[in-house]
Structure 1
Amino acid sequence: MYKTHFGLRELPFGITPDTSFFLACSNYQEALNTLLIAAKNGEGFIKIAGEVGVGKTLLCRKFMASLDKTFVTAYIPNPFLEPRTLMLALADELSLALDKDVDQHQLLKSINHRLLVLAREGKRVLLCLDEAQAMPVETLEALRLLTNLETGKRKLLQIVMFGQPELDRKLQQESIRQLNQRIAFHYHLGPLTKDDMEFYVAHRLSVAGYTGSRLFNRGAIKALYKASGGVPRLVNILAHKSLMLAYGEGKQEITARYVAAAAKDTGAAQKRALPWRWALVGALGLLVAGTSMGWTYFR
């Protein structure tokens, strides 16, 4: 693609969460610190909420990678599961070998026994649930019951939920008010500020191997922030498309017009479209159509 043209080792603006690109700017570092402190304090429930694309999954992976060896982590990326299926998924994450037709009582008993064994070994078990807003109310209630498993001194299982704002609304329901009361630590992850976004772009380029002079000029950064609102996923998509356009013209600098064209080609950014009198009309479509690059990157 454009790696050689810009002197890059890898693509800097992929949308797959990669902890090597994690940026410790103010809100992300605060969120990570909240998670680490809560985990070490042994809190039963921890919640991180934020809009689509702000980096919750990346934060989750960075958090798990930052834990020391005293923690055993279980990760469930899509918890849209009935209570029993969630219990089975947790058992699988804890490497429990169970009969296919194990009943509910034996399932809970086996999980409890495994947690006790790990506690005696000095381990803390932490369950991370991504996309937690998708969990049925009955499954959320089953999670609360899981946190009742404890020794005389601490919880046997800590649960961290990462979800969109819909999770907050779901937790306000009267039927699961007990769970909501047990959330001891909460952090709302917002978009990047303009200054943080500028640092974010430079950071990702640096991690990807870029060593040249400023690649996105000030006009491009201003346009990128206006088009993305500081949402990292949108920043990545627009920056990637802008690099493609500059590469297609053989240019070595990203200007505002490339960002404007990228925004017009990106549905999520169209509401923020910039009022440019000119744009690279059809350039992105022609570039993609005229190459064998493929567009599965943005699936």
Structure 2
Amino acid sequence: MYTDFFGFNQLPFSLSPDTGLFVNLPGHQRCFELMVHVLESGEGFLKVVGDVGTGKTILCRKLLRYLAENTENDYCSVYVPNPMLSPVGLYRAVGQELGLDLDQVQDDDALLSHITDRILALAESDKSVVIVVDEAQSLPEETLEALRLITNLETEQRKLVQIILFGQTELDTLLNQDRFRQVRQRITFAHYLKPLNEDEARQYLDYRLSRSGYNGQPIFSTKAIKQLHRYTNGVPRMINVLAHKALLAAFAEQSYVVTPGHIQLAYKDSNEPLPGGRSVPWLLVLSGLILAGAVAWRLL
């Protein structure tokens, strides 16, 4: 791979939500600060909405890390990564995260009663329960209603359960149904993630490169960044995809600078289908030819 060639200590544009590579872009930083404010103020619901690839998952992971490390406020976090659950499945998932053994409990009301008792016990110990739901647009309607019932717990001073929903724009469509007006009324704050502008895309690239150990002249030329932003529309996930492939193309040519030509090659690799519907593996073909040529040269 190209890590040694460029002097990286890790892949800078991996698609995994590595919080160590979180970039404090204005929109993402405002979102994180809003989430912390909601938690500290004891508000009930917060939703974070954005199109595919705009950074919801890494924000979700950063929030979970914050909850785990913030021992002063004693948060008890419940993470629901797969919202495609029945109400019973949701109750079991929440109960398990709260340390309950619910294997012998089958009735919905009994499950909710056990969870309620556990939340009340945690409240007496000054622990706040925070339920974080990723991909919340996929919540079945009955499960969303079950989630609302959990939030009914409150004292005269504060909510005992806080919920943060991360979802695509379809989440708004789901919540706009008349049957969920009570849920909408409880959503005290909302944040909408937007794609990056060109300057933010440059900051995104530079930060992830430096965090991956790079210390040298700019790798991506100004024209390459412009082209990368145009092809990706500023969506971080797509920036990761094309930046990774462009670095691979530059490495195949033994170039320490990513040019618009490398971006073009990466874009073709991602978007040009064969007649059978499969993508043309331009970068793999190019890399194979370069490496094969290098091996043949050494054998001469």
Normalising by structure 1, we get a TM-score of 0.90
State the partner residue of 2:266: 262
- Who is 2:66 aligned against? 66
Task: Tell me if 1:197 matches 2:201.
Answer: yes
Q: Distance in 1 between matches of 2:230 and 2:223?
A: 11
- Cα distance in 1 for residues equivalent to 2:28 and 2:238: 17
Paired position in structure 2 for 1:122: 126
1 CA distance for matches of 2:117 and 2:290? 57
Shift of residue 170, structure 1, vs aligned partner: 0.9
Q: Is the 8 A contact 1:149 1:155 kept in 2?
A: yes
Cα distance between partner residues in 2 of 1:290 and 1:230: 32
Q: Are 1:27 and 1:189, in contact at CA under 8 Å, matched by a contact in 2? A: yes
Q: Aligned residue for 2:50?
A: 50
Q: Deviations over 1:231-255 (max 9, x none)?
A: 0000000000000011111111100
Does residue 216 (structure 1) correspond to residue 220 (structure 2)? The answer is: yes
Q: Which residue does the alignment assign to 1:32?
A: 32
Worse overlay, 3-12 or 64-73: 64-73
| Aligned 8 A contact 2:268 2:282 in 1 | no
Aligned to 1:102: 106
2:239 counterpart letter in structure 1? V
CA contact (8 A) 2:47 2:166 kept: yes
> In 1, Cα distance between the equivalents of 2:16 and 2:270?
18
**Inter-partner Cα distance in structure 2 for 1:58 and 1:195:** 20
Partner residue of 2:277? none
Q: Does 1:183 align with 2:175?
A: no
Tell me the CA shift for residue 192 of structure 1: 1.1
- The answer to whether residue 239 in structure 2 is matched with residue 235 in structure 1 is yes
1:2 matched residue in structure 2: 2
Aligned partners of 1:228, 1:56: CA distance in 2, in Å?
17
What amino acid does structure 2 have at the position aligned with 1:284?
L
Q: How many aligned residue pairs are there?
A: 280
> What is the root-mean-square deviation of aligned Cα atoms in Å?
1.7
Counterparts of 1:231 and 1:5, CA distance in 2: 27
Deviation at 1:259, TM superposition (A): 0.4
For residues 148-195 of structure 1, what are the alpha-carbon distances to aligned partners after superposition, in whole Å with 9 as ceiling and x for unaligned?
012332211111000000000111111111111110010001111110
Give yes or no for contact 2:134–2:165 (8 Å, CA) kept in 1: yes
Cα offset, 1:227, TM superposition: 0.6
- Name which of structure 1's ranges 157-166 and 76-85 shifts more when overlaid on structure 2: 76-85
Tell me which moved more, 206-215 or 145-154.
145-154
Q: Which amino acid aligns with 2:56?
A: K
User: Is 112-121 or 164-173 further displaced after alignment?
Assistant: 112-121
Partner of 2:296: none
Q: Tell me, in whole angstroms, the C-alpha distance in 1 between the residues paired with 2:141 and 2:108.
A: 19
Tell me the distance in 2 between the aligned counterparts of 1:152 and 1:180. Answer: 21
2:157 matched to 1:158? no
- Compared with structure 1, are the counterparts of its residues 291 and 52 closer, same or farther at alpha carbon in structure 2 (3 Å cutoff)? farther
Look up the equivalent residue of 1:29 and give its one-letter code: Q
Q: Aligned letter for 2:7?
A: G
How far is 1:282 from its partner?
Answer: 6.7
Q: Deviations over 1:75-127 (max 9, x none)?
A: 11110111111111101111111233432222111111111111111111100
Q: Does the alignment pair 1:19 with 2:19? A: yes
TM-score normalized by the length of structure 2: 0.89
Report the Cα distance in structure 2 between the residues aligned to 1:225 and 1:201, rounded to whole angstroms: 11
Residue 225 (1) aligns with residue 242 (2): no
Contact conserved, 1:245 with 1:283, CA < 8 A, in 2? no
Cα distance between partner residues in 2 of 1:97 and 1:21:
36
Runs of 5+ consecutive residues of structure 2 not aligned to the other structure: 273-279, 292-300
When Rg is computed on C-alpha atoms for both structures, the one with the higher figure is 2
Say whether the 8 Å CA contact 2:151–2:162 is kept in structure 1.
yes
Partner of 2:295: none
Between the aligned residues of both structures, percent identity stands at: 44
Q: In structure 2, what is the equivalent of residue 277 of structure 1?
A: none
